[in-house]
Amino acid sequence: MTILHIDSSITGENSASRAISASIVERLRAADPAASILYRDLAAQPLPHLTLDAFADTSVLDEFLAADTIVIGAPMYNFTLPTQLKAWLDRILIAGVTFRYTANGPEGLAGGKRVIVALARGGMYDAGSPASALEHLETYLRGVFNFIGIDPEFVAADGLAIGPEQRAESIRLALGETVRLAA
């Protein structure tokens, strides 16, 4: 197994998405001790905003293509993904490589990879909840990965800004979920 581990939270050691993504990678490694793991910290070493010139450098795309399993720590900022993570996605959604347009509509070309996303959100966004219309993190990531032919899996810790007890319980439940994912 070739694992690409991505983090994008700006909160360092206090980050829930980093703790959960690390737990997922640890579980995957335990299941396959020979797995190779490449780590990219998009907060510590941000990719620049996309420019036309940036398309000439395919190193981020190549890393993605070389991995069969991608684990992504994705905090919710202002109802969507961090711009650091968007800059990474801007480099892997490449027409003719990870998707193409056909007469029958768009076709994903990156199928066969496993993508697991560790979500961390301050609020609650369950279907039917007052804030559900503002959920543009999980819905966006699902749409983007579906578009390139991948059905992503999610582990979510929600309500992290509600209070310390809710935060601890949500992270505990999410870390427990990672056992199931690696099975």
User: Who's near 95: CB < 8 A, 6+ residues apart?
Assistant: 101
144 lies in the site for ligand FMN, by CB under 6 A:
no
Q: Is 16 in the site for ligand FMN (CB under 6 A)?
A: yes
Distance CA 164, CA 20 (A): 17
Tell the smallest beta-carbon distance from residue 69 to ligand FMN (Å). 20
Within 36-95, which residues bind ligand FMN (CB under 6 A)? Answer: 75-79
Considering only residues 150 to 169 of the shown chain, the ones binding ligand FMN according to CB under 6 A are 160-161
Q: How far is the CB of 34 from ligand FMN (least distance, A)?
A: 29
Pairing mode, strands 36-41 and 2-7: parallel
- Helices in the chain by DSSP H: which ranges? 16-31, 59-66, 83-92, 138-147, 164-182
Q: Candidates 17, 69, 84, 170: give the one binding ligand FMN (CB under 6 A).
A: 17
Kindly list the residues in this chain that would bind ligand FMN in the complex (CB under 6 A). Answer: 9, 11, 15-18, 75-79, 120-123, 160-161
